[in-house]
Structure 1
Amino acid sequence: MKRASLDVVVVGAGVVGAACAYYATLAGLRVAVVDRGPVAGGTTGAGEGNLLVSDKEPGPELDLALLSTRLWRELADTLGPAVEYEPKGGLVVAADQRRQDALRSFAAGQTAAGVEAVEVPADALRELEPHLAPGLAGGFHYPQDAQVQPALAAAHLLRAAREAGAELRLGESVRAVRTGPAGEVRGVATDRGELWAPAVVNAAGTWGGELAALAGVALPVLPRRGFVLVTEPLPRIVRHKVYAADYVADVASGSAALQTSAVVEGTPAGPVLIGASRERAGFDRTLSVEVLRRLAAQAARLFPVLADVSVLRAYRGFRPYLPDHLPAIGADPRVPGLHHACGHEGAGIGLAPATGLLISRQLTGKPPGFDLAPFRPDRFPGAA
């Protein structure tokens, strides 16, 4: 029997894996982070950095987001300005009265769950966003919404983890999960050797299902493709994260078909980011001109000032999607020592701190202080 040289191996150097490593090292654990690519080389690096409560209905994901909202504020103080944390708030707008009524009903449930949501009448929208299109029926302001630069956030979480003793192994692929005679985790085998630890955290994002399979269990993670447009640097013409009411329905939808809804936000560096699209197209990296045209047109309808602005580039990413739209977080009862922290879809950046903190509590045997039952990795049909 090999003696464990580590307490935990975290597979994945995106923001969720970085948060798991950060909180585990703060808890005194010996941690190694392994990723076959660079830091933030997957979904994290293709994200907009959204830290949202505004798009989540009351329930377990919103509870997780509210916990993460508090933790991101703490991390912003700890990690400093390099992560570009902006507590700028969100603004959800309605094109007509029917949608405004739906937003009002949605916000009432959120408010009861602890979200700050303030109705904005049509004649007050331009006080928040002077360049918004005329004729909108109203909206809701969400002061708790924020943003970070996602790749920088992952990098600085890992930097802090390394300073606390964590080991970072990039460009190294996990080939197998090693188990003992009772099926318990003993570590991982990589293309460079063996890492021995009694716990493995699956933070492999869109490839979380593949990592789970190496441990002998099923986790139905699928990629959901999305595109983002990046404009030329501009004065701060968009002050909040602004999106149309239809975006909430798109986030909750399980459809495999293409969906687009305007999501527009400025950045500290000047470019405006324009999303959002969703479709299940496997790992097809083909640039879709149709999607880019839709996003540009929807953004210009929301902010007419953008109609003549140049788009410098577009990029795509793959959100790690699970069928019920909830991530898998926590210990896997099928394989002792295996923990999952993946399947967050487009909310992984926002939910990363809460995920990392809860994983670290499980790893150290502390009460999580949070109901993890809805996130059980074995909850899917045929998973037992």
Structure 2
Amino acid sequence: MALKVVVVGAGVIGAACAFHAASAGLDVTVVDRGPVGAGTTSRGEGNVLLSDKEPGPELALARLSRALWDEAGQELGARSFELEAKGGLVVATGAEGLTALRAFAARQEAAGVRTEPVDRVRDLEPHLAPGIPGGVHYPQDAQVQPVLAAAALLRAAVRRGARHRTGEVTGAVTGRGGRVTGVRTADGRVLPADAVVNAGGTWGGEVGRRLGAPVEVLPRRGFVLVTEPLPPMVRHKVYSADYIANVASSDAGLETSCVVEGTPGGTILIGASRERVGFDTAMSPAVVARLAAQACRLFPFLRAVHLIRAYRGFRPYCPDHLPVVGPDPRVPGVVHACGHEGAGIGLAPATGALVTAHLLGRPWRGADPAEHTGLLPDRFLHPEGGPK
């Protein structure tokens, strides 16, 4: 009989876990209190990036994920979720920054990332501001439409036999030795399970607590601006080199760095901000103005372009900036797949494959648990099993 798996969360991470687990022949049920991709997934830009990741556990997962996004595009239809292999261009605004950027790129190249130093950045992006001394082109960077991607993966999982339920998980049912045997939902149902995957996104910490296996996942608010539709003006995902430092920062205060990219619909997306303000959803005109000003300095033509909206959401942030992926030693049967911060869209397919590998007890679709031990939840635990 197939292993029964309940995936808590129908964002892109949960959908990817369901897709891979169902593809492996497991009996999968996905449960979420809201629609597909309605949480953090719907508030992202759709980044599939190698360019912003230091060599280490996250970059290793990102490299696998990049290949799996291409496989998903071939299997599900790249146009169905707007997969674009557009490449990324990271630019430095000064000589010192350019030196640091190219040293960073050299470390990435040694880890298997394709990098191309660029002196004449306006050859790649003609509308960039003059005077930018150079940058690095990352041809493997790509883009998806996040909600479409989550929906496509979940539809494919359902075609493979998975079920999708609406409901809020309130706790775990456990049996002998404290092992999970199911989950309870707010309407009183019990969904039987041999394993439960915590794909709760920003709420991954709370989901873990309800399952008896809390993990430290905190919200980090971010804003994205959207312009009116335009003819093609920005060819790549373009961002300033300070974005890399901001992604790796643990500061609680506001940080902004310029990220600009076009979409198939003609709109231009402008980011990115980061601040730890709990779950405060308030609009911040000051953050919007700051992001807009930074984008206009990078692409002066934007000064004459209208913004049509600004949206914001919460990145699921872990203190060490790495996701938590793997079985929890405190509650047998609980497997975490959360804490991806702003990289969840890009890392989703590899996370789903790695979770499936943990469930199967063997490698799956290029994901080998023995190669990704740096993402396990026990890194946050004392030897006696309590949180550090």
What is residue 387 of structure 2 aligned with on the other side? 383
Instruction: Give yes or no for contact 2:258–2:295 (8 Å, CA) kept in 1.
Output: yes
| Secondary structure of the structure 1 residue equivalent to 2:229 | coil
What is residue 70 of structure 1 aligned with on the other side? 67
Aligned 1:242-257 pairs, distance under 5 A: 242-257=238-253
2:224 is the alignment partner of 1:228: yes
| Secondary structure of the structure 1 residue equivalent to 2:176 | coil
Aligned 1:290-301 pairs, distance under 5 A: 290-301=286-297
1:204-257 deviations in Å (ceiling 9; x for gaps): 001111111112222110000000000000011000000001000000000000
AA partner of residue 383 (structure 1): P
CA distance in 2, matches of 1:102, 1:251: 16
2:5 is the alignment partner of 1:8: yes
What is residue 372 of structure 2 aligned with on the other side? 372
CA distance in 1, matches of 2:213, 2:5: 19
CA distance in 2, matches of 1:245, 1:372: 27
Instruction: Give yes or no for contact 1:184–1:337 (8 Å, CA) kept in 2.
Output: yes
Gap regions ≥5 residues in structure 2? none
What is residue 79 of structure 1 aligned with on the other side? 76
AA partner of residue 26 (structure 2): L
What is residue 157 of structure 1 aligned with on the other side? 153
CA distance in 1, matches of 2:116, 2:2: 52
CA distance in 2, matches of 1:179, 1:45: 33
AA partner of residue 50 (structure 1): N
Structure 1 residues 98 and 89: CA distance shift in structure 2, 3 A: same
* From 141, 165, 174, the counterpart of 1:179: 174
* From 31, 34, 50, the counterpart of 1:34: 31
Aligned 1:230-379 pairs, distance under 5 A: 230-367=226-363, 368-370=367-369, 371-379=371-379
| Secondary structure of the structure 1 residue equivalent to 2:362 | coil
Instruction: Give yes or no for contact 1:330–1:372 (8 Å, CA) kept in 2.
Output: no
CA distance in 2, matches of 1:50, 1:78: 20
1:296-336 deviations in Å (ceiling 9; x for gaps): 00000000000110000000010000000000001111111
- TM-score normalised to structure 1 length: 0.97
| Secondary structure of the structure 2 residue equivalent to 1:307 | helix
Instruction: Give yes or no for contact 1:236–1:270 (8 Å, CA) kept in 2.
Output: yes
AA partner of residue 72 (structure 1): W
The alpha-carbon deviation at position 181 of structure 1 amounts to: 3.0
CA distance in 2, matches of 1:191, 1:5: 26
Instruction: Give yes or no for contact 1:322–1:343 (8 Å, CA) kept in 2.
Output: yes
Identical aligned residues as a percent: 63
The alpha-carbon deviation at position 348 of structure 1 amounts to: 0.3
CA distance in 1, matches of 2:122, 2:210: 53
CA RMSD of aligned residues (A): 1.2
* From 185, 188, 210, the counterpart of 1:190: 185
Number of residue pairs the alignment of both structures matches: 378
What is residue 86 of structure 2 aligned with on the other side? 88
- TM-score normalised to structure 2 length: 0.96
| Secondary structure of the structure 1 residue equivalent to 2:377 | coil
State the 4+ residue runs in structure 1 displaced beyond 4 angstroms. Answer: none
| Secondary structure of the structure 1 residue equivalent to 2:6 | strand
Instruction: Give yes or no for contact 1:6–1:196 (8 Å, CA) kept in 2.
Output: no
Gap regions ≥5 residues in structure 1? none
The alpha-carbon deviation at position 6 of structure 1 amounts to: 6.5
What is residue 46 of structure 2 aligned with on the other side? 49
CA distance in 2, matches of 1:220, 1:256: 15
1:186-210 deviations in Å (ceiling 9; x for gaps): 0100023110011000000011111
CA distance in 1, matches of 2:111, 2:379: 25
CA distance in 1, matches of 2:338, 2:113: 25
Aligned 1:113-192 pairs, distance under 5 A: 113-121=111-119, 124-170=120-166, 172-192=167-187
Instruction: Give yes or no for contact 2:207–2:214 (8 Å, CA) kept in 1.
Output: no
The alpha-carbon deviation at position 372 of structure 1 amounts to: 2.4
Instruction: Give yes or no for contact 1:5–1:195 (8 Å, CA) kept in 2.
Output: no
